[in-house]
Amino acid sequence: MIVLYIFLFLIMACTWRTRYHIYTKGLCSLGLILTAYFSHQTKLFLLILPALLGYMIGDILLCKKELFKYGLNAFLIGDIAFLFFYYHFESFTYIELIVPVCAMILLEILTYFKIVDLSTYKTELTSYIFALVWLTTKAILTAINLNTLNFIMIAIGLILYLLSDILLVLYKKNNVQYLGIISIFLYYFGIFLTAYSFSFI
């Protein structure tokens, strides 16, 4: 599966600025679902499937500027579905909300000083960021509490996913090409780690 996924990722990267990109991007996301499926952990696969489907749909929708809002909503649904995956193993605690709430306060400060522009799609972007930071926080706490290889891998994967979005914001603001490339790599490698982690159970 690693070789297959690398192959799909390279095809997607090579067709980035072509009309075929929407199809190769969808195939790359499908590769993530297949990676989780072939771990032969059927119960866990079914638990994580809604999240991976949300990411796949979001990935495809983001290829079209006019569908950007719907792509964000798909990723938001994916993040929420991932949170429900975690609640099968660790119950909710108020501690996990501290970081996302702080992130929202920081985001408001950055927006106020015009360091970050949320004038377009503010509701969708704010909801998505809150959910992603919450999910990443939950992943880290669960990895610490359960201390198993698969949950540690998922936590690392989600941290990379979060970092990819931070780099994407910097890329959009400064238009530095290599930041965009690193952002794409971190996202796909991060989600691959989450899907591949089931092979270590």
Q: Kindly report, residue by residue over 69-121, the tens digit of the pLDDT.
A: 999 999 999 999 999 999 999 999 999 999 999 999 999 998 888 878 877 88
pLDDT at 120 (0 to 100): 82
Catalogue the long-range contacts made by 57-65 (C-beta closer than 8 Å, 24 or more residues apart).
Answer: 59/25, 59/26, 59/28, 59/29, 60/22, 60/25, 60/26, 60/29, 63/21, 63/22, 63/25, 64/22
Phi/psi at 134 (nearest 5 deg)? -60, -45
* Phi-psi sector, 40: left (phi>0), alpha (psi -120 to 50), beta: left
The two tokens of residue 163 are 């970092």
Give me the pLDDT at residue 176, please: 78
Q: pLDDT, tens digit, for every residue of 21-74?
A: 999 999 999 999 999 999 888 899 999 999 999 999 999 999 888 999 999 999
Reply yes or no on whether the pLDDT at 173 is more than 80. no
Is the separation of the CB atoms in 138 and 119 below 8 Å?
A: no
What pLDDT score does 200 carry? 85
153 pLDDT above the threshold of 90: yes
| pLDDT greater at residue 179 or residue 118 | 179
Those residues with Cβ within 8 angstroms of residue 192's Cβ, 6 or more apart along the chain or in another chain: 5, 32, 35, 157
